[in-house]
């Protein structure tokens, strides 16, 4: 036996009533609260405010961009300046190295100049000194002796009983020429004479003539001084003073 068809219903009448009541309550609440909702529409005043704010933001952004560009320019300038400073520093370092070499060369030149100055002073000192030669001569037979005494008391002479008087230790001076028979010449010389007083004497050592005329000269760096003619008598007699030679510190020679 076939069963009867049964009607399927999802919602019952009571459920529909409940939904309808809830929908009605929602509509009533919405109508009541509608005046209290803010107007979110695009009003002209709000649009103007938003646009003004946008312009202010854009102006501020432009100002920031300008400041950023200026900062970038300044940064570029500072980088260029920094690069220039680095180049200058490198040049200064090279110059310092060259200066160190120049200082070394200058020091070496200074030492050379000091040496040259010392040599110059030594040359000037030597130029202030002079050589000294005393020469006497006679034109007849006889033995005439020349005697020269230096400032230290060394008496230079040469005779038959005093052959050691030609040289003295520590002195470059010497009686370099001696004649025992006339006509003759005797000579005393000093290559680098020291300042002071030198005594010149003649002695008629021996001969057959009662008197002998003797002449002489003094030679120095700048002068030739003629000695006065002296007549010697009495062979074997004492020495006769002819005069004194004075040598100054600057090499000048004076006879008196």
Task: Give 21's contacts (C-beta < 8 A, 6+ positions apart).
Answer: none
Based on the fold, state whether residues 153 and 249 are members of the same structural domain: yes
Residue 237 within any structural domain of the chain:
yes
Calpha distance 144→214 (Å, rounded) = 9
Domain-terminating residue out of 128, 161, 177? 128
pTM for this structure?
0.52
Print the domain residue range for 66. Answer: 42-128
Rounded to the nearest 10°, the torsion over CA 105, 109, 111, 116 is 170
The values of phi and psi at residue 128, to 5°, are: -70, -20
Residue 247 within any structural domain of the chain:
yes
Query: Which of these, 216, 149, 209, 215, lies nearest to 181 by C-alpha position?
Result: 209
Work out how many domains the chain is built from and give that number. 2
Which structure tokens are listed for 198? 């030198």
Q: How many CB atoms lie within 10 A of CB 5?
A: 6
Residue 37 within any structural domain of the chain:
no
Based on the fold, state whether residues 233 and 154 are members of the same structural domain: yes
Domain-terminating residue out of 113, 128, 143? 128
Based on the fold, state whether residues 150 and 112 are members of the same structural domain: no
Burial of 219 by CB count in 10 Å (0-12 exposed, 13-18 middle, 19+ buried)? middle
Based on the fold, state whether residues 119 and 142 are members of the same structural domain: no
CATH number of the domain where residue 164 is located: 2.60.120
Query: Which of these, 191, 193, 177, lies nearest to 137 by C-alpha position?
Result: 177
Residue 25 within any structural domain of the chain:
no
pLDDT at residue 35, rounded to an integer: 65
Coil, strand or helix: which one is 90?
A: helix
Q: Provide the residue-wise pLDDT of the chain in tens; the chain has 256 residues.
A: 555 555 545 555 666 667 677 777 777 777 776 666 555 555 788 778 888 888 888 888 888 888 888 888 888 898 888 888 888 888 888 888 877 787 787 788 788 888 877 776 665 556 556 899 999 999 999 899 999 999 999 999 886 455 567 888 888 999 988 888 879 999 999 998 889 999 999 999 988 898 999 999 999 988 899 999 999 998 988 999 999 999 998 888 999 9
The values of phi and psi at residue 157, to 5°, are: -165, 170
Based on the fold, state whether residues 123 and 138 are members of the same structural domain: no
Based on the fold, state whether residues 134 and 216 are members of the same structural domain: yes
Buried (b) or exposed (e) across 110-136, using 16+ Cβ within 10 A? eeeeeeeeeeeeeeeeeeebbebbbbb
Domain-terminating residue out of 97, 128, 159? 128
Task: Give 55's contacts (C-beta < 8 A, 6+ positions apart).
Answer: none
Within 168-239, strands assigned E span 174-177, 184-193, 196-206, 211-220, 224-233
């Amino acid at each position: 036996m076939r069963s009867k068809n049964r009607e399927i219903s999802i919602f019952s009448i009571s459920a529909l009533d409940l939904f309808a009541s809830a929908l009605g309550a929602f509509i009533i609440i919405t109508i009541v609260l509608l005046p209290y909702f803010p107007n979110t529409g695009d009003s002209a005043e709000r649009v103007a405010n938003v646009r003004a704010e946008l312009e202010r933001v854009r102006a501020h952004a432009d100002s920031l961009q300008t400041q950023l560009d200026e900062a970038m320019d300044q940064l570029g300038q500072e980088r260029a300046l920094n690069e220039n400073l680095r180049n200058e520093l490198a040049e200064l370092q090279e110059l310092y190295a060259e200066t160190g070499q120049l200082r070394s060369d200058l020091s070496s030149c200074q030492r050379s100049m000091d040496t040259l100055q010392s040599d110059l002073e030594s040359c000037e000192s030597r130029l202030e000194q002079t050589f000294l030669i005393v020469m006497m001569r006679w034109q007849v037979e006889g033995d005439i002796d020349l005697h020269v005494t230096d400032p230290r008391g060394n008496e230079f002479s040469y005779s038959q009983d005093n052959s050691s008087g030609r040289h003295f230790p520590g002195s470059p001076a010497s009686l370099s020429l001696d004649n025992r028979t006339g006509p003759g010449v005797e000579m005393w010389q000093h290559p680098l004479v020291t300042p002071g007083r030198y005594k010149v004497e003649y002695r008629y050592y021996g001969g057959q003539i009662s008197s002998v005329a003797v002449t002489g000269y003094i030679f120095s760096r700048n002068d030739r001084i003629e000695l006065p003619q002296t007549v010697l008598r009495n062979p074997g007699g004492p020495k006769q003073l002819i005069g004194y030679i004075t040598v100054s510190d600057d090499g000048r020679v004076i006879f008196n």
